[in-house]
Amino acid sequence: MAKYTPIIIITILIGATVILPDTTVFAETQAGDYWVSKSPIPTENPALVIATTVNGKIYAIGDQTQTYDPKLDTWTTKAAMPTSRTANFGTAVVENKIYCIGGGSSGLNEVYDTHTNTWTTKASIPTPRKIVDTHVIDNKIYVIGGEIDALTISTANEAYNPATDVWGTKASLPTPRMTLCTHVVDGKIYVIGGRDAYIPGTYRYSKVFDTNEVYDPKTDTWTTLTPMPVADEGYLSAVIDNKIYVFCKNVTCIYDTATDSWSLGAAIPTYQFGRAVATSGVCAPKKIYVIGGYINSGSSSNPNSRVTNITQVYDPILDDWSLGAEMLTARTAFSVVAVDDAFYALGGAGIFGNILSSYKNVNEVYYPGGYGTSDPTYIPPTPTPTSTPNTQPDGIQVELILILCVLIIATVVVVFGYIFKRKQCGRVR
């Protein structure tokens, strides 16, 4: 038996190598996440909708108004918005009512009552503009910046009181810019980065900003803060634990609002345009998800060749990226809304040059890895996956498997050594 011992050990080692996946893969994948296909959006232009949530239901507003019930997986057509507008207006939710403000050259302010299924026209915004950022603080809607036209950027900062249907003019944005990010942290509005207007007769702009300014609604004042480490515009950003994460092309800039300081994080592996971002932390671990979008390469004759379906996951604790399960339908210009950390990706399109085409009315939901484990009192749904779940074990599981294999090998060596020794002793006798 002793002569077979080396062969047995080698066989076990080879088997362990085959069974154990390469540990470098585990830092690049999400475990247990998946996408599920849901009832499609009943609309003709699904890319031209803005989606929001009220009491656990999703409202998609554009040419039509539809509501989606995630529990029943059903859509219901509601009263249409009085004035049809493309998806460049601002939305805000106050007391179960959805306010749709601006869009195009319009100063319209129309509100949808989710209880009565009715629309009402309210006081128009004083400065008509589009591509605005809206935030709700203390039941007031703040509309900052925006674009009057391709050559004119607005610095207007106006606040709307839904209770009185009155607009108030506030301190203007100090630095005119557009395609920036704004976030509310501790009741203050942070405005970071952006670019200037197009040069007349072109689709080029002359300056990109690293500017970082914050607005305090209580004092109606702006404060200039530490600038972003790199100037950028049109990026994605998200907030976790009062830190603002700005995902630029070659680096992730992390702003700590408590200390007014920046740090650099791992750059996003694949940089896309027209993508969507979402954060988890209620029913899944705190992470940031960058989904879909389009890249600059691809066929000029195929609108779907440039769009992507990748899901990239950023862990702010480890400062690393991993790949999640792929979205079922590759697309850009879609909306993502979260319901208890389940991310619904609605609508979208392919792209020809800078023109959207090949519209998609799909509705797909993403369940992050670890879904249902963050809050022990929360019982998540049990959907049937329609994409292949990512079942790669995490790093801890790999270490346990490796230790187990080493113990098995050591045990085999000891046992066979003992048998060999007994046989040798028997021969001596």
Domain ranges, residue 59 = 41-367
- What's the pLDDT score for residue 304? 67
Residue 242 in domain: yes
Ranking 43-52, 211-220, 316-325, 329-338 by mean pLDDT, the lowest is 43-52
Residue 382 in domain: no
Check whether residue 49 and residue 165 sit in a common domain: yes
Distance CA 200, CA 151 (A): 7
Of 315, 349, 367, the domain-final residue: 367
Of 316, 350, 367, the domain-final residue: 367
Check whether residue 354 and residue 415 sit in a common domain: no
Residue 74 in domain: yes
Distance CA 232, CA 402 (A): 44
Grade residue 223 by pLDDT with cuts at 50, 70 and 90: very high
Check whether residue 99 and residue 226 sit in a common domain: yes
Of 328, 347, 367, the domain-final residue: 367
Distances (CA, A) of 397 to 18, 19, 261, 267: 16, 13, 36, 27
Check whether residue 144 and residue 275 sit in a common domain: yes
Check whether residue 335 and residue 251 sit in a common domain: yes
Grade residue 132 by pLDDT with cuts at 50, 70 and 90: confident
Q: Is the pLDDT of residue 145 over 60?
A: yes
Check whether residue 138 and residue 276 sit in a common domain: yes
DSSP state of 303: T
User: Region 61-72: what's the mean pLDDT?
Assistant: 90
- More confident site: 58 or 62: 58
Check whether residue 196 and residue 320 sit in a common domain: yes
Q: How many domains does the chain have?
A: 2
Greatest Cα-to-Cα distance within the chain, rounded to the nearest angstrom: 107
Check whether residue 317 and residue 416 sit in a common domain: no
- What's the pLDDT score for residue 419? 60
Instruction: Give the pLDDT confidence of 18-27 residue by residue, as tens digits.
Output: 334 333 232 3
Residue 386 in domain: no
Could you please report the per-residue DSSP string of 24-61?
GGGGGB-SS-EEEE-PPP--S-GGG-EEEEETTEEEEE
Distance CA 121, CA 79 (A): 14
Residue 2, C-beta contacts closer than 8 angstroms, at least 6 positions apart: 416, 419, 420, 423
Residue 390 in domain: no
Check whether residue 343 and residue 411 sit in a common domain: no
Residue 128 in domain: yes
Q: What is the CATH number of the domain that holds 166?
A: 2.120.10.80
Rounded (10°) angle between helices 395-428 and 5-19: 170
Residue 377 in domain: no
Check whether residue 402 and residue 343 sit in a common domain: no
Residue 29 in domain: no
* Mean pLDDT score of the chain: 82
Q: Which residue is it, tokens 């703040």? A: 142
Percent of the residues in the chain that have a pLDDT greater than 70, as a whole number = 76
Check whether residue 249 and residue 101 sit in a common domain: yes
- What's the pLDDT score for residue 389? 40
Check whether residue 46 and residue 91 sit in a common domain: yes
- More confident site: 114 or 375: 114
Strand order in the sheet with 287-291: 276-280, 287-291, 311-315, 320-323
